[in-house]
Amino acid sequence: MTHSNAVGHDVDSWCTRCKLILAHTVEAMIGGKITRVHCNTCRSQHAYRPRPPGEPAAPSRADRPAVSRSARPTAAAARASEYATLLSGRDTSSARAYATADRFAPKELIVHPIFGLGIVMILKDRTKIDVLFQDGLKTLVHSH
């Protein structure tokens, strides 16, 4: 049987009336995906179901080949790379000490007593800023 994704072609689908995987004719598609079919055995029309109910759609995590953690880019590695890029070529000695009463601007360097050197990323509203530190993004109060 030809499995073509085009209206009028036949595909295997779970028939909701026959309760079997049978040949169906594609009746409708949206964005290249089959949405409606009719059973070539009982002629019932229904949504396309490529698998019987309860059958997993994709292989479980245990069935997939293992990918070592070192081969995957981590969020921490991406954050560290962004942090290093934003700091490159900047004079870190010009960083202002963080204080809740002070007002800060985007891209300004600050030094926090706990988190260390950071870059102001976003002014969230009149009293909050997002600051990227080496260990991640933190929301801090400013102009308070």
How much is the pLDDT for 103?
93
Helix H, strand E, coil C: the string for the chain is CCCCCCCCCEEEEECCCCCCEEEEEEEEEECCEEEEEEECCCCCEEECCCCCCCCCCCCCCCCCCCCCHHHCCCHHHHHHHHHHHHHCCCCHHHCEECCCCCCCCCCCEEEECCCEEEEEEEEEECCEEEEEECCEEEEEECCC
How much is the pLDDT for 62?
57
pTM tops 0.75, yes or no: no
Q: In what order do the strands lie in the sheet with 116-125?
A: 96-97, 109-112, 116-125, 128-133, 136-141
How much is the pLDDT for 54?
79
How much is the pLDDT for 79?
75
How much is the pLDDT for 81?
82
Average pLDDT, 10 consecutive residues per value, the chain (144 residues): 70 90 90 90 91 73 58 68 88 93 94 94 89 91 86
